Chain A
């Protein structure tokens, strides 16, 4: 069973860049879509974007101007960068994997435990 683990700073200052990494173990990063999802305190889930193993990406239109998701196949990791953060970006950030090889549309069946990132000075 593939395992995902998020890592990165738990506190980021306003206007700075939030950077997180997801390490994939017990499985290959090939042929799946790898995604970031967040949940602000007391709110629902929000899809941030994905990277495919080929390196192609797509993002939530509401975040697109500030988000970059990239892949490091040699390390079996993928990363999230979110620039110019504000308090509204405070959330638990999850990394997840698409449930089907080569498909993005059928949900996410493997998730990390999530990491809380707080934006505050």
Chain B
């Protein structure tokens, strides 16, 4: 199974909105609404911020939102804050009943 495709880096200014794309295939993102997003600060455990394309776990800021169209999922961070600077990973359930991750996107807050 090939990794999902994410941009290596995305940057934005404080208060702005940014969107991270995650492109897969008809065998993963295109087949199910089972896309998750994780925020990862280096040296810490990854944190689930979106599951099932657009659902936020309890306690996750509503500045994080997710969507999907065809084989591509997206994560939008609105009102960018300094603490949002981190690596972000998407993942998807697949038709082989496995999980595949994206390569990760480094978000820089300018």
Bound Cα distance A109, B49 (Å): 9
Bound Cα distance A58, B36 (Å): 19
Nearest-Cβ distance from residue A108 to partner chain B, whole angstroms: 6
Bound Cα distance A105, B96 (Å): 12
Nearest-Cβ distance from residue A9 to partner chain B, whole angstroms: 20
Number of interface residues of B (CB under 8 A): 27
Contact partner of A99 among B32, B44, B57, B103, CB < 8 A? Answer: B57
CB-defined contacts of B93 to chain A, threshold 8 Å = 104-105
Nearest A residue to B1 via CB reads A61
Binds B, one of A11-19, A40-48, A69-77, A82-90: A40-48
Contact A106 B97, CB 8 Å, known A60-B1, A111-B46: no
Contact partner of A114 among B32, B45, B102, CB < 8 A? Answer: B45
Nearest A residue to B46 via CB reads A111
A107 touches B89 (CB 8 A): no
Interface centre among A47, A107, A112 (most CB of B within 10 A): A107
A62 touches B45 (CB 8 A): no
B52 at the interface (CB under 8 A from A): yes
Contact partner of A45 among B1, B50, B51, B104, CB < 8 A? Answer: B104
Closest 5 CB pairs of A and B: A107-B36, A111-B45, A105-B93, A107-B51, A105-B34
B-contacting residues of A (Cβ < 8 Å)?
Answer: 35, 37, 43-47, 58-62, 94, 99, 104-109, 111-114
A-contacting residues of B (Cβ < 8 Å)?
Answer: 1, 3, 32, 34, 36, 38, 44-48, 50-52, 57, 89, 91, 93, 96-104
